[in-house]
Amino acid sequence: AQTVTQSQPEMSVQEAETVTLSCTYDTSENNYYLFWYKQPPSRQMILVIRQEAYKQQNATENRFSVNFQKAAKSFSLKISDSQLGDTAMYFCAYLRKRGGSNYKLTFGKGTLLTVNP
Amino acid sequence: DVKVTQSSRYLVKRTGEKVFLECVQDMDHENMFWYRQDPGLGLRLIYFSYDVKMKEKGDIPEGYSVSREKKERFSLILESASTNQTSMYLCASSRRLAGESYNEQFFGPGTRLTVL
């Protein structure tokens, strides 16, 4: 079974600084997706960034980027120029890629990120 | 924009009551999911449905059942609520795509259920 591990339950960063959230996963599959989801306080969970395992290039979305190390099964999220609105719970998630029924996300336990003014 | 709505943001029920949590999506998605979110445990899949009247158990189905009579609506049922079912419940939906394409899951705002 796939597992996703986020070793940092809580982190904090000063506004405008850079922070990296860690995620490791365990799988025997070769094709899969990895995601970072953001859940702001009392708000809906939204997708921040995704990575396809077969793509070597690290995904980037504005201030958010990932460091995907497939051999090491590591998928960290870097947030540059942190903003107060980045304060949220961040979840790393894994999705096995298997056609039309590639439905089941496996989530890590989350990292609570606080951006301080 | 995809919209996933849940019937209640907060719900308080008593032990032994039958509880219905409703989820509606407006994007004609085939797949719908119910997750439970607990501090320190992340999100765990309870049930999902890939079509009307179709369902499959997730990782923690015990004590729960589901109903999907219409494509847009997916209900989670607690037949006899217990205190250990106090939790945040999240609904999600996604399109079912052919081949090996990715289909993003869109989440509702959540229902915080307290069982006394």
Rounded-to-integer distance, Cα B47 and Cα B111, Å: 16
Residue A65 neighbours by CB distance under 10 Å: 17
Model pLDDT, residue B101: 60
Contact A98, A78 (CB under 8 A): no
Residue B4 neighbours by CB distance under 10 Å: 24
- Average pLDDT in the A46-58 region? 91
Q: Which residue of B has its CA nearest to A90?
A: B42
pLDDT at B97 over 80: no
Q: B41: which chain A residues are within 8 Å (Cβ-Cβ)?
A: 109
Comparing B8 with A96, the larger pLDDT belongs to: B8
Q: A89: which chain B residues are within 8 Å (Cβ-Cβ)?
A: none
Q: Do B102 and A52 touch (CB under 8 A)?
A: yes
Q: B94: which chain A residues are within 8 Å (Cβ-Cβ)?
A: 103
Model pLDDT, residue A55: 86
Here the tokens at position A70 are 């497939």
Contact B33, A97 (CB under 8 A): no
Q: How many Å separate Cα A58 from the centre of its chain? A: 12
Determine what percent of chain A falls in helix, strand and coil, rounding each to the nearest 5. Answer: 5, 55, 45
Residue B80 neighbours by CB distance under 10 Å: 11
Q: Give A10 to chain B, closest Cα distance, Å.
A: 11
Rounded-to-integer distance, Cα B73 and Cα B91, Å: 10
